[in-house]
Structure 1
Amino acid sequence: MSQITDPRDRLIVALDLADVEAARALVDRIGDAATFYKIGYRLGYNGGLGFARALTERGLKVFLDLKLHDIGNTVEEGVRAVADLGVSFLTVHAYPQTMRAAVRGRSGDLKILAVTVLTSYDEADAAEAGYALPVAEMVAKRAEQAREIGIDGIVCSAAEAVAVRGVVGPDRLIVTPGIRPVGSDLGDQKRVLTPGEARRAGIDHVVVGRPIAGAADPRAVAQAIVREMETA
């Protein structure tokens, strides 16, 4: 697993908010309790890319969750553009052609994460989408392809983390969404663990959104998650 010296870096706070003003307010409320933030579609398409640069200029880490998937040249050039923002992580879908293009476009400190199977998918969802393999087998297959291609890490459900670690080895990152502190609403996530369970499963970074953003005291929730992971 990666060498993470600051335990706060293990928590990635998802800024799944409507606009930059709301995201900036949340970051300010959390303060130094968190160091790493995720920007996805909702915020990314509403000023979030510029906000990503502003966060990195403040010394914070940014995970751009854009899940790129297109023809090779488009992905490669897109990754090159993202690298110029100074962000730490970028997601692509774990299709071999897409992953190879992303590796070609990668530069600097940018790490490419491959999304195996979305954590909102269960067996019925995968079957409805036309996948013949069970979710666990799809995750393992895509993780193996990502390792061979040279992807830096895998995004998967915490429930699959142990199996994925066995496939990708100790040096690749495992990043897990769908983490819910004890007592939190599961929302649309179907394959979840608590932060402590995730850490014991060998997860490097956990992504937590609504339980922090929707809390009366988001700073306190972030601190509690970091403590739980640190003592797991």
Structure 2
Amino acid sequence: MNKSMYLSLDFPTWKEAKAFIDRYEFHGVPVKVGMELFYREGPHVIEKLKEANHAIFLDLKLHDIPTTVMKAMKNIAQLEVDMVNVHALGGSEMIQRAKDGLVSGSTADHVTKLIAVTVLTSMDDEALNSELRIPGSLNDNVLHLADLSKQNGADGVVCSVHEAKAIKHICGASFLTVTPGIRLGDSDVNDQKRVATPKIAKESGADILVLGRTITKATDPRKAYNKVSEEWQHELKS
């Protein structure tokens, strides 16, 4: 199983997600389960996916007071997914407590990796400075949040491809860079601002691709997935 590509199951129900998996023969591929599907189906959807041998990135982006996040993570740990995330903007104590919850709630043979979201790939400098009133460049903020996340126990961050190389330089080669916003050359950008092709992603030091609408909204999702995989694997071997 190639755990460097996670297919986003951005569907409102398990019935629709399963139909998509079955129709395009995505059996056993690593998947991302986000808020839309998890809030409708709950842990049941994780159990079903695990029964079908899918690796899982649970994309809930937790952001709350440290104690609440710790208790939530203790419960999430029992689902034994591969990765789960928090918002790095929750701060150092929240990240630490999230990690504590995952570790204390895990079994001896499985500890879920903690990934922190730096700045959403739908954001740009203008939105960060003008709307959120966070000073400094988007790039500087991403690097600061990545370093903060590592120092407080995170195993990696969600970032755009364009920040992955600099994050590796600051946080080290083993610190995971999980990159959404992946597009093929003929794909729509949609509401993402910081996008890149699989080739650019690998050249930039990305470890894990998150594949959303470039696959799910493609005319032929299986063909699009294979195209991404071929481009990504070619870069891994070159």
TM-score of the two chains, using structure 2 as the length reference: 0.90
Equivalenced residue count is: 226
Higher relative contact order (CA 8 A, sep 6+): 1
| 1:75 and 2:69 aligned | yes
Aligned to 1:27: 21
Aligned to 1:199: 202
| 1:141 and 2:144 aligned | yes
Q: Is the 8 A contact 1:30 1:222 kept in 2?
A: no
Structure-2 separation of matches of 1:93 and 1:43: 19
Q: What stretches of structure 1 of length at least 5 have no aligned partner?
A: 1-5
Q: Is the 8 A contact 2:27 2:54 kept in 1?
A: no
Q: Is the 8 A contact 1:156 1:177 kept in 2?
A: yes
Amino acid paired to 1:37? V
Percent identity between matched residues is: 37
Note the aligned Cα RMSD (angstroms).
1.4
SS of 1:12's partner is strand
Aligned to 2:97: 101
Structure-2 separation of matches of 1:110 and 1:73: 18
Aligned to 1:3: none
Structure-1 separation of matches of 2:204 and 2:47: 32
TM-score of the two chains, using structure 1 as the length reference: 0.93
Q: What stretches of structure 2 of length at least 5 have no aligned partner?
A: none
Q: Does 110-119 or 125-134 show the bigger shift?
A: 125-134
Structure-1 separation of matches of 2:64 and 2:53: 31
Q: Is the 8 A contact 2:28 2:53 kept in 1?
A: no
Q: Is the 8 A contact 1:29 1:218 kept in 2?
A: no
SS of 1:31's partner is coil
| 1:46 and 2:40 aligned | yes
Q: Does 217-226 or 70-79 show the bigger shift?
A: 217-226
Task: Give the drift of 1:29.
Answer: 2.8
Aligned to 1:173: 176
SS of 1:9's partner is coil
